[in-house]
Structure 1
Amino acid sequence: MPILRTEDAEAIRFRFDDELDADVQLTLVTHNPIGGLLIPGRECDTCQSTQQAVDEITALTSKISVETVDFYREPERAEELDVERIPALIVHGPSGDGVRFFGFPSGYEFPLLLDAIVRASTNESDLEASTVESLSEIDEDVHIKVFVTPT
């Protein structure tokens, strides 16, 4: 059963057609058990639904591509991406910078995922000029973590 309702998929397709400029790369770090075999300690309750959501989103436009990395079968790549938990979804624009989502981006997080995809494509933000100026004065990496509960 699809995650996106038909009318929602059409609205997202219209938004992407209207707002996406450059190509966007999604990197999904997940776990796909071979033949459905679950190894204790490697369970991932939301990996399958996150994979399905990513598949449905990428089917809506040719401007989004996806790289899928298996956390357990490709540990070097997961480490290179600095991913320590799954599922992880990284949205990359042409600049290479990315926004990371951990867990299944559902409920209120889903529109934020769509916004992140559009922002990555356009390399624009809704921040005030004064905010951008203040942020430009930060001379070290900053990790902002937002924790949410399922809705």
Structure 2
Amino acid sequence: MALLSNEDREYLKGLFTGMKRNVNILLFTTEEKEFCTFCNDIKSILDELKSISDKIQIQEFSFENNKEEVAKYDVKRGPALVLMADKDLGVKFYGIPAGYEFSSLVEDIVDIGNDTISIDEGLIETVKAISKPVHIQVFVTHTCPYCPPAVRTAHKFAMANENIKADMIDSNTFFDYANKYGVQGVPRVVINEKHHFEGALPEEEYLRQILNSIL
């Protein structure tokens, strides 16, 4: 059964047309059924996207059995998606990118496929100049309309600087993570395990939060 309408497929085809390079999406599934409830749905989403553009390439791995790949891409658990071009860009989704988060996935694909980073010109050099490791975890739910901008900003910063890693984390799937990091409202952004804020901040303020966390 198709998840996307013909109208949606045509819209996505228009977005993906002309992408300069392949977008490689690595899917890590898990044998932990508690967390992999939506694994088949994730596969269906990826299969539909791949059917729209031959620039989208999918590889599937097992979190339990493909330890080399798990270590190489620093995957903490499954299900997870790693989005990359010819190298890892530090862009991950933990859980299913459905609901409002489907737009985050699509926009990431377009940026990677076009080799572009849609960050404000006045900020991008500051992002690129960050020399310390930064790990951004963005906790979301599928029904949160304010979450995609928070995810996208984190992912764009990761694309711009190899010192930055950025994860979308589905709070409903990974409820244990959500409890660990005190998630009560979303989006909740956690930086380097110690600094956090809530809400979809403008890029400039988002960057200021990152810089304050690594001082």
What range describes the TM-score normalised by the shorter chain of this pair? 0.7 to 0.9
Question: 2:96: which partner in 1?
Answer: 104
Is 1:82–2:81 an aligned residue pair? Answer: no
- Counterparts of 1:69 and 1:10, CA distance in 2: 30
Give unpaired runs (5+ residues) of structure 2: 144-215
Residues 93, 121 of structure 1: 8 Å contact kept: yes
Residues 13, 53 of structure 2: 8 Å contact kept: yes
* Corresponding letter in the other structure for 1:30: T
Report how many aligned residue pairs link the two structures: 141
When the two structures are superposed, what TM-score results if normalisation uses the length of structure 2?
0.61
- Counterparts of 1:10 and 1:142, CA distance in 2: 37
- Counterparts of 1:87 and 1:106, CA distance in 2: 13
Question: 1:56: which partner in 2?
Answer: 48
Question: 1:8: which partner in 2?
Answer: 8
> What is the SS of the residue equivalent to 1:22?
coil
- Tell me the CA shift for residue 148 of structure 1: 0.4
Q: Which has the higher contact order (CA 8 A, sep 6+)?
A: 1
Is 1:27–2:26 an aligned residue pair? Answer: yes
Which of 84, 92, 116 is the aligned partner of 2:84?
92
Question: 1:117: which partner in 2?
Answer: 109
- Counterparts of 1:80 and 1:52, CA distance in 2: 25
Question: 2:158: which partner in 1?
Answer: none
- Counterparts of 1:69 and 1:60, CA distance in 2: 22
Which of 59, 64, 67 is the aligned partner of 1:72?
64
Give the fraction of aligned pairs with identical amino acids, expressed as a percent. Answer: 32
User: Which structure shows the higher strand fraction?
Assistant: 2
* Corresponding letter in the other structure for 2:28: V
> What is the SS of the residue equivalent to 1:145?
strand
* Corresponding letter in the other structure for 2:64: Y
Residues 29, 88 of structure 1: 8 Å contact kept: yes
- Tell me the CA shift for residue 6 of structure 1: 2.1
